[in-house]
Amino acid sequence: MLSSGPALAAPSEHLVEPTLHIGPGGREAPRVALTFDACMGKTDRRILSVLIDNGVPATIFVTSRWLKHNKDVLAELQAHPDLFEIEDHGAMHVPAVDRPVHIFGIAAAGSPAAVEQEVRGGAEAIKAAGVATSRWFRGATARYSKSAIEQIRKLGLRVAGYSVNGDGGSLLGAATTEKRIAAARDGDVVIAHINQPTHAAGEGVVNGILALKAKGFSFVKLSDVPTEGSDGTTMETVAGY
């Protein structure tokens, strides 16, 4: 996606794209964590159906904007607490960077106060929808300033990076997406999108999940297993998590 404003932040501005891994299951029981961003818009039922039908757990990061238009899907997720945990993707889907910059054409929050508004706004919308208190946050573009990461942890949330970019922001083709997800290794955290039902990537997500299952992988939610993230993202928060 090309930027419509200032260029992507230069390395000198010290933005980071954190990685995240889960504790591996071992050769006999390899496992991965599937994480999905629901940024705004609708829901890809191709993906949701394969998760439910195959009993595949996942962590879903939702924005306040997505929640407003997908109440029926939220109810469906809540009906399967064994499969889904719902976490914070922000209020308005803006990058959690505390100074003015554009990332992939999206204007960042731009200040510490705006970062807090984005993080708290998403968490409060989730709580108002009757969902358990958020424990994880993932910002738009998954890029952050290090000072914003520290700020988010002080708000009581860990920051969810990833180790496998499954669908390239839902912009990749089905075959490439399937190949990326199917190649996940024991302990990987996969990121993909569940809000683009018209994109070809969704088909690849489905096929990639089924390929991992056929290879004997199991699937876990982030909060069910030990995690290790870069850039201080999984250090203990003020909430003790």
What does the pLDDT look like over 119-146, one tens digit per residue? 999 999 999 999 989 999 999 999 999 9
Q: What is the pLDDT of residue 236?
A: 74
Widest pairwise Cα distance in the chain: 49
Q: Considering the chain, what percentage of its residues have pLDDT values greater than 90?
A: 91
Dist CA 121 CA 77 (whole Å): 21
Q: How many Å apart are CA 46 and CA 194, to the nearest integer?
A: 9
List alpha helices for 106-223, DSSP H. Answer: 112-128, 146-154, 174-182, 201-214
The dihedral region occupied by 120, where left means phi > 0, alpha psi between -120 and 50, and beta the remainder, is alpha
Q: Which residue, among 164, 142, 163, 162, has the nearest Cα to 152 in the 3D structure?
A: 142
pTM for this prediction: 0.92
Q: To the nearest 10°, the Cα dihedral for 239, 35, 85, 69?
A: 110
66/224 Cα distance (integer angstroms): 25
Instruction: Mark the ranges of the chain whose per-residue pLDDT is less than 50.
Output: 1-12
Angle between helices 45-53 and 71-78 (to 10 degrees): 10
Could you give the domains of the chain?
16-223 (3.20.20.370)
Q: Which two tokens stand for residue 223?
A: 């909060």
Rounded to an integer, what is the distance from CA 118 to the centroid of its chain? 15
3-class DSSP state of 50: helix
